[in-house]
Amino acid sequence: MTTTFSPTSSVRTSCRDLIRQSGSVSINIPALVKFSNEIAESIHSNQSLQVAEWDADGWHYTGKTYQRRQYQDDELYELMRMERVALYILSMDAINFCFWPSSSSSAKNGLEYEHLAIALRKVAEIDDISDDRQDHADSGDSSTYVRAESSYALSPSNLATLTATKLQSLLQPHFPSSSESIVYELPEIDVRCRLLNELGTGLIDHHNGSALNMISKANQSADALVRIILKTFPGFRDYVNRDSWTNKCDACDWDAAKSSTSVIHFYKRAQIAVADIWAALGRCSTSSQRCHFTDMKLITTFPDYRVPQILRQVGALQYTPELAAKVDNQEELDEGGVDEVEIRAGTVVAVEEMVEVVKKHLIDISKADSSKKTKNNLHKLLEDVSAVTIDWYLWQRGEKEDRLNLLGPHHRVRTTYY
């Protein structure tokens, strides 16, 4: 009997197994518990986990300004808006990695996630308002999926034929202006273009050119959608073979990698794409159930550079003196090397531990608090605590503290995975 591959379970298991043997990274349980208890107390005080909603800052494309007078069917109109948003999210997460390298020897690259998110949003909005009756979406099986208009810059057909020069011309005008000391540029434009080509081609070849069609195949399962993304788009296959300590993402290796006990799984961009789709189209939406995933708690934290940075800052994640010196001196670590992989695995395991500690402390606080409101709200508070929401909290806190120069350096790796 063949067991269905669970990418999220593979992430948890392989990271936990690695950290048990880790030589460079360890979890400081007392510091982790202290930090987690502080988060739980904040949740209790505010009666919610204080994280910004997906588009609270206005960075992302939501389709709110999307207008097509030629569409009379409200349900079809909403599906078309959702298709455009889903394509924006998949496009963003296909190229959401490694912003810090600079082409200048004297100026640092100031580009951050929000700059790319905003630029891509403006690209998505170019054809938001159109009265052209010749430019319409293909409704396909409208109960399941639609295809975006050909005028939409992020339609699968446009992504499949995108060139690096065109991508640069679409995004660069929306970045902040550069100066002698700081530049705003998107590194590795050729690689990012190739990943967007792969996204467009994969949707056309395997999912009728429709993001919603792909999402529908997951049957409201976040874990299943991660698996579908990994199967369709090789560029999302974020794993490391510890026999050789190298990243392996060739199609011929994929079947072996899924079952190998030597592989450390992460799938950061695939998991965050699913979480973004849920946050934008499922978490608070009443218009469709296809993006309301029933197993979001299976998604792990998204092991990148910001979350381990904040965990190290509070003492929950500890590095050996040798690794700490490399990170603090901003030395580049080898992609897929032991140091990088242990940092990422330690991040996954630490956040898993934090989720359990936060929940336990919330229950303890509730037992000590006799108010009816606290007890009635406890179930909702516990449901809101997951690796995804804790990740959001840590990332948002890290972004604020980084802008205030309150954080030490993060580890540096040239990678396409985060």
pLDDT score of 239:
96
Average pLDDT over residues 147-151: 94
Residue 68 DSSP label: E
The C-alpha angle 259, 293, 302, rounded to 5 degrees, equals 55
Strand (E) or helix (H) holding 402: helix 387-403
Of the listed ranges 128-132, 181-185, 315-319, the one predicted with least confidence = 128-132
Residues 308, 408: Cα–Cα separation, whole Å: 11
140 has a pLDDT exceeding 70: no
Interatomic CA distance for residues 409 and 412, integer angstroms: 9
160-171 tens-digit pLDDT = 999 999 999 999
pLDDT of residue 132: 66
Give the DSSP letter of residue 144. Answer: T
- What pLDDT does residue 99 have? 93
Strand-pairing partners, residue 25, are 319
pLDDT score recorded for residue 1 = 58
237 has a pLDDT exceeding 60: yes
Return mean pLDDT, the chain.
92
Q: What is the pLDDT of residues 367-380, one digit of tens each?
A: 888 777 777 889 99
pLDDT for residue 364 is more than 90: yes
Q: What is the 3-state secondary structure (H, E, C) of 273-335?
A: HHHHHHHHHHCCCCCCCCCCCCCHHHCCCCCCCHHHHHHHHCCCEEECHHHHHHHHCCCECCC
pLDDT confidence of residue 242: 87
Count CB neighbours of 99 within 10 A.
17
> Residue 230 — very low, low, confident or very high, per pLDDT cuts 50/70/90?
very high
- Burial (CB < 10 A; 0-12, 13-18, 19+), residue 136, is middle
